[in-house]
């Protein structure tokens, strides 16, 4: 075959494959109710549960690197607080909640939210020396039902607090927390500052603070687990839809898994 003709065929094949990939991406976006007329520049405001801070920050930087001219702005906090801010008119384009309850509170803004990862709460203690001698042969109830112990958790309305309440009730814990914190990051900060003996936090926070915090699992994993939900608000922002697809990608799932989240089987 003439070399010039071979080069032309190769270019045509590459263009065809590229077009097919683009068409598949468009079909996926349409299936999600998102326009495929994507602007290549702009800002995307993402409201996300505080437990997603590390993973979303990393993925946001990667998205910006592959999309010159795009800026991803994150607001992290308690999902319940973020939902209230969105209801009040905050300019969020994507909302990632640590439970479906908060997503349902703004169901007039998001028509097709998707579940994407899970997390579960554990009882954590500050322990630079590791697990031995602190949690060995103990249960959550045997630790928290000691009257002299000081422990904390998230506020009841926050997803980490809701999961904690269910897990604690199933465990048979009868004592009360010293304080109810606005989100899980506040619990973690107080544990690291040794302002409490123990606290109910996410497994992902134990992973993020390995060497300083160790966790003890609850007996009822179902009660301790929460499912995260994500969606684009108003289904009008194609650029936000492209970011959503990236946050749901296989690569993103690998990032979540390494951080301690539960992810769907690939």
User: Using one digit for the tens of pLDDT, what is the confidence trace for 20-76?
Assistant: 444 444 444 433 333 344 556 789 999 999 999 999 999 999 999 999 999 999 999
Residue-wise DSSP of the chain: --HHHHHHHHHHHHHHHHHHHHHHHHHHHHHTT--S---SSEEEEEEEEGGGHHHHHHHHHHHHHHSTTEEEEEEEE-HHHHHHHHHTT---SEEEESSHHHHHHTTTT-SS-EEEEEEEEEEEEE-TT-STTTTTT--HHHHHTSTT--EEEE-TTSHHHHHHHHHHHHHT--S--S-EESSHHHHHHHHHTTSSSEEEEEHHHHHHTBTTEEEEE-S-HHHHEEEEEEEESTT--HHHHHHHHHHTSHHHHHHHHHTT-B----
Which two tokens mark 168? 């604690």
Rounded Cα distance between 78 and 101, Å, is: 12
Q: Quote the pLDDT of residue 110.
A: 86
Confirm if 48 and 76 have CB atoms less than 8 A apart.
yes
- Lowest model confidence (mean pLDDT) among 117-126, 191-200, 217-226, 230-239: 230-239
Rounded to a whole number of angstroms, the CA Rg of the chain reads 22
Residue entry with tokens 């209801």: 87
Q: What is the pLDDT of residues 230-247, one digit of tens each?
A: 999 987 778 999 999 999
Inform me whether the pLDDT recorded for 266 exceeds 80: no
Mean pLDDT of the chain: 85
Span 90-117, mean pLDDT? 92
């Amino acid at each position: 075959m003439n070399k010039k003709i071979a080069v032309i065929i190769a270019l045509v094949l590459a263009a065809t494959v590229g077009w097919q990939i683009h068409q598949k991406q468009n079909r996926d976006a349409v299936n999600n109710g998102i326009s495929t007329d994507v602007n290549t520049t702009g800002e995307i405001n993402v409201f996300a549960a505080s437990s997603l801070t590390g993973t979303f920050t990393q993925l946001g930087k990667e998205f910006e690197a592959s999309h010159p001219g795009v800026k991803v702005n994150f607001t992290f906090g308690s999902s319940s607080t973020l939902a209230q801010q969105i209801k009040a008119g905050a300019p969020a384009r994507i909302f990632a909640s640590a439970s479906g309850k908060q997503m349902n509170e703004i169901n007039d803004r998001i028509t097709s939210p998707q579940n994407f990862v899970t997390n579960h709460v554990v009882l954590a203690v500050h322990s630079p020396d590791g697990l031995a001698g602190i949690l060995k042969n103990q249960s959550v109830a045997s630790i928290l039902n000691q009257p002299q112990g000081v422990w904390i958790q998230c506020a009841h309305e926050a997803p980490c607090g809701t999961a904690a309440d269910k897990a604690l009730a199933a465990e048979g814990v009868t004592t009360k927390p010293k304080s109810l914190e606005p989100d899980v990051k506040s619990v973690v900060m107080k544990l690291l500052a040794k302002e409490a003996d123990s606290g109910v936090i996410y497994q992902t926070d134990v992973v993020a603070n390995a060497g300083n915090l160790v966790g003890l699992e609850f007996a009822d994993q179902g009660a301790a687990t929460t499912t995260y939900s994500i969606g684009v608000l108003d289904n009008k922002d194609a650029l936000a839809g492209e970011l959503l697809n990236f946050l749901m990608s296989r690569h993103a799932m690998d990032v979540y898994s390494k951080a301690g989240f539960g992810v769907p089987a690939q």
